[in-house]
Amino acid sequence: MKLTITPKAQEWFKRELELGEGQGIKFYGKVYGKTQVHDGFSVGMSVDIPESPLVETTLEDQHFFIEEADEWFFKGYDLVVDYDTELDEPKYDFNQI
């Protein structure tokens, strides 16, 4: 599994979120909503401290990660976090491995 953050998404995170010491941006599965591969679940995002990262990446001092506890949601897919210019928010694409 890979976690990819596009440059436009990274710019949005820099602009919108302030990270404290040791914090990163966590992606997880949450109840309600829909993704291209899940019905009734959507991608959640929060500022958090990594405990047991399943996958992680760091770009220009910004740390992004998915915890092992959320493997059920992302299993079999790479997650690409991009930016939706119309909604001015991140968008999430799942690419089957």
- The whole-number mean pLDDT for each consecutive block of 10 residues of the chain, a chain of 97 residues, reads 96 92 92 65 90 94 94 93 96 93
- Answer whether 48's CB lies under 8 Å from 23's CB: yes
Structural domain including 48 reads 3-96
* CB within 8 Å of 20: residues ≥ 6 apart: 47
How far is the CA of 74 from the CAs of 22, 31, 97, in angstroms? 24, 14, 10
- Phi/psi of residue 39, each to 5°? -105, 125
CATH of the domain at 21: 2.60.300.12
Whole-model pTM: value is 0.90
Total domain count, the chain: 1
User: How far apart, in Å, do the first and last CA atoms of the chain sit?
Assistant: 7
